[in-house]
Amino acid sequence: MAEHRLGFIGVGRMGSRMARRLIEAGHDLAIYDSSATAIQPLVELGATLFESPAAVGSACEIVMVSLPTPAVVEAVALGPKGIAEGSRVKIFIDTSTTGSVAAQRIARSFAAKGILAVDAPVSGGIAGAEKGTLAVMVSCPDEILVKVKPILEVLGKVFVVGREPGQGQTMKLLNNLLSATAMAISSEAVVMGVKAGLDPRQIIAVLNAGTGRNSATEDKFLKAVIPRTFNLGFSLALLSKDVRLCLKEADVLGVPMVVGNAVRELISIAEASEGPNADMSELVKPVERRAGVVIK
């Protein structure tokens, strides 16, 4: 077993897979989630269920979270019965995507209670979480990195992108902006090709052999769009949230986002037509609808 009990809060699609890897690596995991269904498989693997985030914070020196939005992260971290009310917690690791502003605000509140916050957002999706091949974007002081790096290496490759709160979050937003942009522009390109009479699999094969290849053509179209499974496991609502957070930070920094704003607009159109819980790969559907063709 690990030297200290490790806390993990938020065991949904990503969190459950990360928590499983930590248990299998020998960590004595204390967990909490609002969903009993999500918790049960991990309890069966040996995790211990606690009744609140505060209870996890009283059992563990290090508490990790994997949660959907900045508001939920703040509530779990600092709200009533939140992690900050725990008597033992010293380090808070956030693997969620919250943006730098929320991360800095949370870090300041924790610091007042003697708790150090670590940015550790992840990229690589459900498959990466299962395989332990996530990209983990860490920002924290060097003396804390020594303590948390062995834990985070269970989840994937650790990239130390900074020392200050929020820097890891900024890196994650850059990644997700590019991921969303690749999906958006690839949707338009492949729909155009199909309407011109080209075979979608041939389009993808040529793009992936040339300079047009990207994360959407190499993975998402073959896995989710052409077979019409739309099952990447990341919703349009979450994609929209990440892009909006990125554009907001860009505005504060004075960086123009002409393409980024166009991507946000297409995501908004897709959210309205397909629903916020639709898979991010369904971004292609409003483009297909306007063009009068279907990629298959």
Any idea which residues carry the catalytic annotation? 172
Considering all CA atoms of the chain, what is the largest pairwise distance in Å, rounded to the nearest integer? 65
Rounded distance between C-alpha atoms, residue 105 and residue 177, angstroms = 23
- Contact call for residues 91 and 150 (beta carbons, < 8 A): no
Which own/partner contact pairs does 1-6 have at CB distance under 8 Å and 24+ positions apart?
Answer: 1/26, 1/27, 1/28, 2/26, 2/27, 2/28, 4/60, 4/61, 4/62, 5/29, 5/30, 5/48, 5/59, 5/60, 5/61, 6/30, 6/60, 6/62, 6/63, 6/64, 6/151
DSSP β-bridge partners for residue 34: none
Report how far Cα 125 is from the mean position of its chain's Cα atoms: 7
